[in-house]
Amino acid sequence: MDSLLIAADSALRTLFARPRAVRPTPTTSDRTALSQLDPAEQRQAAALMRVNHVGEVCAQALYTAQALATRRPDLRRQFEDASREETDHLAWTRERIEELGSRPSLLNPLWYAGAFGIGLAAGRLGDRISLGFVVETERQVEAHLDSHLERLPAGDHASRAIVAQMKADEASHALRAREAGAAELPAPVRGLMRAAARVMTTTAHYI
């Protein structure tokens, strides 16, 4: 029952409450100015930040499920710490989407449910596999954020600052997971993860 309540609380907070960041939003000299972006650039930046927000919704689901699945208190704390850091990302991307005059993905409940199921399945396969899933997920997220730094409009310094900090945090999560004993996932599993991520990011870009 406790596990179900924790899972429900995480889902409700992620999907329906306004996230609150502990750390200040990464900034430039002027976060909100859109004068350097023409309408097409503004739409492109908003779509990319919506995709990043979906990634953070999934991160909340994954880490919550993995924390519930492990029996190691130290590993549970590690997953919970990572989840709290990802909450900053959730808040930053949500804020930036709104500054760009857009909205989060309409399919966030679906993304959350799918990610929670995947995280729970990874956790049930054992801690080393669960940690390996973290490493591979964060590796792919880093590559994804790198591509967004290339695709974001050159004048969108505010979004770029957020994405750069997110990339540094994801690398830290992967390093901690490797140090905790992560197993290397088989190539077919890594390929399936990339395919699933591609479907999610392509859909979230528009919906």
- Identify the structural domains of the chain with CATH numbers, from first to last: 38-206 (1.20.1260.10)
Average pLDDT over residues 164-190: 90
pLDDT at 201: 84
- Of residues 65 and 13, the one with the higher pLDDT is 65
Average pLDDT over residues 158-174: 92
Q: Kindly tell me if the per-residue pLDDT of 119 is higher than 70.
A: yes
**Residue written as token pair 């979906």:** 54
- What percent of the chain is modeled with pLDDT above 70? 94
pLDDT at 16: 79
Close Cβ partners of 190 (under 8 Å, ≥ 6 residues apart)? 136
Tokens for 62, please give them: 């994954």
Residues 44-78 pLDDT 10s: 999 999 999 999 999 999 999 999 889 899 999 99
Average pLDDT over residues 129-149: 91
41-58 in b/e form (b: 16+ CB < 10 A) is bbebbbbbbbbbbbbbbb
- What percent of the chain is modeled with pLDDT above 90? 47
94/18 Cα distance (integer angstroms):
9
173/166 Cα distance (integer angstroms):
11
What single DSSP character describes residue 101? T
Q: Kindly tell me if the per-residue pLDDT of 139 is higher than 70.
A: yes
pLDDT at 186: 87
**Is the dihedral angle over the CA atoms 141, 145, 151, 153 positive or is it negative?**
positive
Model confidence band, residue 9 (pLDDT cutoffs 50, 70, 90)? confident
- Full 3-state SS string of 41-82: HHHHHHHHHHHHHHHHHHHHHHHHHHHHHCCCHHHHHHHHHH
Lowest-confidence pick of 9-13, 27-31, 64-68, 160-164:
27-31
205/207 Cα distance (integer angstroms):
6
**pTM of the complete model:** 0.88
186/191 Cα distance (integer angstroms):
9
pLDDT at 36: 74
Backbone φ and ψ for 107, nearest 5 degrees, come out as: -100, 15
Model confidence band, residue 158 (pLDDT cutoffs 50, 70, 90)? very high
Q: How many CB atoms lie within 10 A of CB 14?
A: 25
What single DSSP character describes residue 187? H
